Amino acid sequence: MPDSPTVQVRPAREADFDQWRALYRGYADFYRVEQTEEAARLVWSWIHDPAHEVEALVAEDAAGRLVGLAHYRPFARPLAAAVGCWLDDLFVAPESRGSGAADLLLGALRGIAAERGWSVVRWITADDNHRARSKYDRVATRTMWITYDMEPDAARA
């Protein structure tokens, strides 16, 4: 999808921290996840560490204000003998929804996946996230897979 005249997507820059943090706080709040400043700074350090797998895109409006973010990373797909793109976090500020930012972020990820030879862009979302699911149903194929979480064995840690 071509860039919107009012919203552009680019990699996150070090100088974006304060605006990124506000967006990431909004994302955590949306999913009712407690997020400490220490945890947010750790994620930010991952994004800017070339040796770490996590990368970030931001959507920026014409005034230079960040209105969205996407955190992504490669993941191995042994059964397919391929590498895919895992979209960990996608968030657009409530006041900027409908601006095209989500489409632009997803389109940028599709382009990155193609450039890097990744076989798929994959993500999960909450069952009750109806607005996002409506968007995702238009741009991607819902899979049959159900996700589970298992906590590590505390005795082995």
Residue 149 located in a structural domain: no
Question: Domain range holding 103?
Answer: 7-143
- Token readout for 100 is 């095209």
Confidence class of residue 155 from pLDDT cuts 50, 70 and 90?
A: confident
Beta bridge pairs of residue 84: 75
> pLDDT at residue 5 above 70?
no
Residue 153 located in a structural domain: no
For residue 4, the model assigns a pLDDT of 53
For residue 23, the model assigns a pLDDT of 98
For residue 1, the model assigns a pLDDT of 44
Residue 1 located in a structural domain: no
Percentage above 90 pLDDT, the chain: 83
Average pLDDT over residues 79-106: 96
Tally of structural domains, the chain: 1
Q: What is the secondary structure of 71-126 as a DSSP string?
A: EEEEEEEGGGTEEEEEEEEEEE-GGGTTSSHHHHHHHHHHHHHHHHT-S-EE----
Nearest-angstrom CA–CA distance, 121 and 87: 7
Residue 53 located in a structural domain: yes
Residue 152 located in a structural domain: no
Average pLDDT over residues 91-115: 96
> pLDDT at residue 146 above 90?
no
Residue 2 located in a structural domain: no
Residue 67 located in a structural domain: yes
Contact by Cβ (8 Å): 20, 44: yes
For residue 156, the model assigns a pLDDT of 72
Average pLDDT over residues 23-51: 97
Determine the 3-state secondary structure of 128 from DSSP.
coil
Average pLDDT over residues 92-105: 95
For residue 81, the model assigns a pLDDT of 98
For residue 157, the model assigns a pLDDT of 63
Confidence class of residue 120 from pLDDT cuts 50, 70 and 90?
A: very high
